[in-house]
Amino acid sequence: MIKVEGLTKKYAGITAIDAISFSVEKGEIVGFLGPNGAGKSTTMRILSCFLPATSGKASVAGFDVATQSREVRSRVGYMPENVALYPEMRVQEYLEYRAALKGIRGRTNRQRVNAVKELCSLRDVESKLIGALSKGYRQRVGLADALLHDPDLLILDEPTIGLDPNQIRQVRQLIKDLGKRHTILLSTHILPEVEMTCSRVLIIDRGRIAASDTPEALAGRVRTAGGVRAEIRADSSALDKELSSLAGVRKSEVQTLEDGWCACTLRTDAEHDPREAVAKLAAERKWPLRELGREQVSLERVFAEITQSGER
Amino acid sequence: MTFLTLLNREIRAYFLSPVAWIVLFFFLLLTGFNFYAGVAALNRGPSEVTVVEAFFNTIFFWFGFVLVFPIITMRLFSEEYKMGTIEPLMTAPVRDSQVVLAKFCGALVFYIVLWLPSLLYFLVFTWVTRLQAAGAAGPFIGAYAMLLLIGMFYLSVGCLASALTRNQIVAAVMSFSAITLLFFMGLLTFFILNITPGLREMTGYFSALEHMAEASRGFFDTRPVVFYLSLTVFVLFLTFHVFQSRRWRS
């Protein structure tokens, strides 16, 4: 569905994306993962024919984005990062206009508008002015717009940014459902989002593809980069000594909290999970244990890990 | 069809914003006053000019006239750039030329609407005084045709200025300067003392004042018609290229 070869984009001296190549097959949901400024939006804008590439080739459904741009645009549903809408229009009116612009007229126009309103739960706001909508609703109008012409490929640039947790859940579910019929390329910098929705992940960092993998494999890599944290009430130096001697623990940090408990952070080897050993240790020593779990890994660390391993 | 969809949206954009109504209101006020002043002047004694001629050749008329183009056109492209709505617009399967033309025609429609109430003045004048406002149909049609022609050219200049920048104020200043310069080019003859006949003739071709004075007297001249139509097409062509250049400028 998407084929990108050696795509490069330079803005006034800055290289936003640097000769990236990847392809996306029909029916895949591919997550584009990367920190801000990594080149996600730039790539998506090139694929949706909004920006031209400096060099390299990109095609969607066999049509070249540079030379057959209108063919591509009529097959792509694109939702930009900042959904910009005309504030003086009403939701219904806007969707009808957008559908007409995409060549959907007459009775089909009505049908498609109704269908996307249903999909994106926009029924209750259909007669509201767009300028009066909350961010969440505007985001959904943008998504509805992208779906209007039932495109072969959906390009969604951070579709859940600025939404509240409930809405995020709804949108993710929607994306999952859409993935049954459409090919989807979505970008995000939220790791769980990718794990939940995508069948494949492309990690992009400083304009290069750093990794391409399934979310499971990626999650595995992330776990190794993480650690285990526990809160135990004990003497901190004794605790530190015991924890460091557990199998697979590379490094332990023990910090005494104000209420007398100790917060411990353990760095481990990839193949070891020391949680069971920690629980056993606490039980043997009769140390009260009130928390034990994997540490939430920040995305930066994952990136550091992945890009470093890429350089090696 | 795509063009009509775009045009429809452009026209609606005008009338859905308060700016359009404010412009309409004050423009009516200005032309109304201008009309009143013209009739009052004619009331004082016999005159060589008709009401139509008086209406289209006063300072009130010209001042409002020059000012109205930047106000109509400044938002056309600049607003889309600034708000980012250019992104959904240009990722829909539309041609750049369709967008440029739709924006120009939308502005033209608003401009025409702006002038419609003034037709009423002359109808009311004829109805009340039982006198012909223009003496004959020719000057009447001529004046409005010239209004349309000059309007098209200046609107295209406004489009070009708006396509150049994402800042509406900058667009307005640019088009205002350009239009004022073009408009008063005909007055150069007053400033250059030892003007050659050739130069005088040259500036005469550019002079909207002169074109309007002649048309509202009932003279029909093909030169200004060709002049304004060809310049409009040329400036729209430039606008199209400037609009396309956003791709490699980014």
Mean pLDDT of the region A21-33: 89
Note the Cα A54 to chain centre separation in Å.
Answer: 26
Mean pLDDT of the region B200-211: 77
pLDDT at A261 over 80: yes
Higher-confidence position of A59 and A36: A59
**Spatial separation of the C-alpha atoms in residues A119 and A148, rounded to whole Å:** 11
Report ipTM (2 d.p.). Answer: 0.85
Instruction: List strands edge to edge, sheet with A29-33.
Output: A76-79, A153-157, A183-188, A29-33, A200-205, A208-213
pLDDT at A270 over 70: no
Strands A14-24, A183-188: pairing kind: unpaired
Region of A105 (left: φ > 0; alpha: ψ -120 to 50; beta: rest) is: beta
Q: Which residues of B, range 177-206, sit inside 8 Å of A by Cβ?
A: none
Q: Which of A51, A105, A145 sits opposite B1 (nearest CB)?
A: A105
Chain A residues in contact with B5 by the CB 8 A cut-off are: 97, 100-101
pLDDT at B73 over 80: yes
**Spatial separation of the C-alpha atoms in residues B13 and A130, rounded to whole Å:** 13
Mean pLDDT of the region A135-155: 91
Give the model's pLDDT for residue A312.
38
Domains plus CATH for chain A? 2-220 (3.40.50.300), 227-296 (3.30.70.100)
B98–chain A Cβ distance below 8 A for any pair = no
B19–chain A Cβ distance below 8 A for any pair = no
Closest CA–CA distance from residue B71 to any residue of chain A (Å):
18
Max Cα–Cα distance, chain B, nearest Å: 63
pLDDT-derived band at A296, boundaries 50, 70, 90: low
Give the model's pLDDT for residue B214.
81
Q: What percent of chain B has pLDDT over 90?
A: 44
pLDDT-derived band at A239, boundaries 50, 70, 90: confident
Q: What is the pTM of this model?
A: 0.83
Give the model's pLDDT for residue A79.
93
Distances (CA, A) of A283 to A47, A256, A263: 57, 20, 17
Mean pLDDT of the region A300-309: 62
Closest CA–CA distance from residue B90 to any residue of chain A (Å):
6
Do A82 and B250 count as a contact with CB atoms less than 8 A apart?
no
Do A70 and B90 count as a contact with CB atoms less than 8 A apart?
no
Closest CA–CA distance from residue A49 to any residue of chain B (Å):
6
Structure tokens at A53: 């590439």
**Best mutation site among B78, B91, B244 for testing chain A: the one with the most A CBs within 10 Å?**
B91
Match 């050993």 to its residue by tokens: A277
3-class SS of residue A18 = strand
**Best mutation site among A101, A105, A139 for testing chain B: the one with the most B CBs within 10 Å?**
A101
Chain B residues in contact with A80 by the CB 8 A cut-off are: 84, 87-88, 91
Give the model's pLDDT for residue A311.
45
